[in-house]
Amino acid sequence: MSERFYLELSQEQGVSHKFYEVILDGADVTIRYGRIGTDGSKSTQNKGTPDKARAFAMKKLDEKKRKGYAEAVMGARKKRAVTRRAVESAPSHSEVTSPILWRFESGRAAFGVFIDEARCWLGNEDGQIFALNHEGVVERQYKLPDGVKCIVDDGEWLYAGCDDGKVYDLNTKIPMAAYEIADNIDIFWLDIRDGVLGISDRQGNVMTVNHEEESQWTRRSPGVSGWMVRCDEIGVYHGHSNGITMYDWEDGAVIWQNQAARGVLFGWQEETTLYAGCADGNIYQIDKRGALGKTYRVGAPVFSCAAAEDGRWVFGGDNRSTIYCFDAEGRRIWEMSTGCGSAFSMQYHQDKLYVVTTHGTLACIDVSEAAITRAKAGGKTQARSIQAPPPSAAVPVGARLPETREAGAGVIIECLMIGGKLRARARGEGFNPEWNVQFPRELRQAGARFVVERLKEADRGGFYRVFGEIKRLI
């Protein structure tokens, strides 16, 4: 007969909303954890004998109790509030429909989008993440425990911010939590640079967290509702209700503030320029020294914006299911109906504009000059409509890791207790044995060993990052 142990983090006043459940069934130990009100993440380990399984379970429960968890009744507390943008959007006023090549219907409103040479990624409010090729064919599907806030890249690595307060690494076959953000932070937006996470929240705070989930600095901006955070090698750019503030990357010192772009709802960055979509119906161009440039007039609250290289085209999506294109001088070139809801996020890539919408659609729009000319002249594009595969095809968080007895061409990672903290270190010729490896906390267990496809030194040095599949070494 199985035994069940259930704990919740015992602080009140909305600060803590986590649960931790352990189920003992013979030699198997199943651990489920996450934010109250969600299914959380789950994994099962076989410890060989019932006695070893019980010892392991009691150790894990004691660790949680020392951190403030206490025995609780499941379902007695509610999940913490999560702020999402309102998903209502008005019909478009434009009579011209965008030349959509294909649209993928995910079924729920979507905020997360990322496009590169290989794939188009979408993440929606059901926690579903789809990776499609540029023809719209689904190649990967993940299921996170809660809604997807955003999808951001960090060089070769791709991450999804989730409403459960975690940031998941999407580079492996199984999504793994790379960062966990404190429960008292109502996350609005995320960005990442060389393993350092930038976070903005409801109260107007902005903070950075390093690869070991250790806070580097936290600052309070002069506004609230930080829907924009963008990072580069110099600074962190925070867009909020009272404008944009730039902070120094290393120590969080204020470098400049610009109050022209008030009520920021979305932010985009190029190498030397920022674009802020605002509630007043404008997109503001601000250089990274804080100077105001062009203003692009949309006329309704701007849910999202993007730019082509060097700002030769600037795009915006409003709350009326319309997208706009401006030239480098700020002149409006065209406006068109999406036909599939308002664009919560967007990205430009090689003459295509990709938008994810309030309807849960990922649309690939041909914004080449020829396509736009045909559309304005009344020409119609026959868009292919692609339905999402069944949820059962998705790989969930906590899925069982593959196992191997040999490292082969991979790199061995060993988990060690160092200075009272569980660290991951590389084992093998050519790696600094004193450097930590950024590694999922849910996998860390003293003495456990794993094999990864390869390691790469972080650009700023001092630690390694995992790339590719992770296997358990047995």
Distance CA 83, CA 149 (A): 10
The stretch 89-100 carries a mean pLDDT of 85
The stretch 90-116 carries a mean pLDDT of 92
Q: pLDDT digit string (tens) for 4-24?
A: 999 987 544 344 567 889 999
- pLDDT at residue number 76: 59
CA atoms 279, 280, 281, 286: torsion sign: negative
The answer to which of 61-75, 79-93, 263-277 has the lowest mean pLDDT is 79-93
Nearest partner of 344 among 162, 144, 125, 118, judged by Cα = 125
The model's confidence at residue 34, banded by pLDDT at 50, 70 and 90, is: confident
- pLDDT at residue number 293: 97
- pLDDT at residue number 63: 82
- pLDDT at residue number 87: 57
- pLDDT at residue number 39: 75
Write phi, then psi, for 428 (nearest 5 degrees). 150, 160
For 376, the enclosing helix (H) or strand (E) is: helix 369-376
CATH number of this structure's domain 100-393: 2.130.10.10
CATH topology of domain 3-80: q64v53_bacfr protein fold (2.20.140)
- pLDDT at residue number 354: 98
Asked if residue 192 has pLDDT above 70, the reply is yes
Q: pLDDT digit string (tens) for 412-448?
A: 999 999 988 899 999 988 999 999 999 998 899 899 9
- pLDDT at residue number 285: 98
Distance CA 254, CA 248 (A): 6
The model's confidence at residue 162, banded by pLDDT at 50, 70 and 90, is: very high
Burial class (CB in 10 A: 0-12, 13-18, 19+), 291: exposed
- pLDDT at residue number 13: 37
The residue extents of the domains of the chain are: 3-80, 100-393, 403-473
Asked if residue 178 has pLDDT above 50, the reply is yes
The model's confidence at residue 123, banded by pLDDT at 50, 70 and 90, is: very high
Percent of the chain past pLDDT 90, that is, above it, reads: 72
Asked if residue 389 has pLDDT above 70, the reply is yes
Q: pLDDT digit string (tens) for 61-82?
A: 888 887 778 888 776 555 556 7
Counting runs of H as helices and runs of E as strands, what totals does the chain give? Answer: 2, 41
The stretch 401-410 carries a mean pLDDT of 93
The model's confidence at residue 141, banded by pLDDT at 50, 70 and 90, is: very high
The stretch 166-186 carries a mean pLDDT of 89
Distance CA 458, CA 216 (A): 17
- Kindly report whether the global pTM for this prediction surpasses the value 0.85: no
The stretch 224-230 carries a mean pLDDT of 96
- pLDDT at residue number 10: 55
Asked if residue 312 has pLDDT above 80, the reply is yes
Q: What one-letter code names the amino acid at 133?
A: N
The stretch 38-55 carries a mean pLDDT of 86
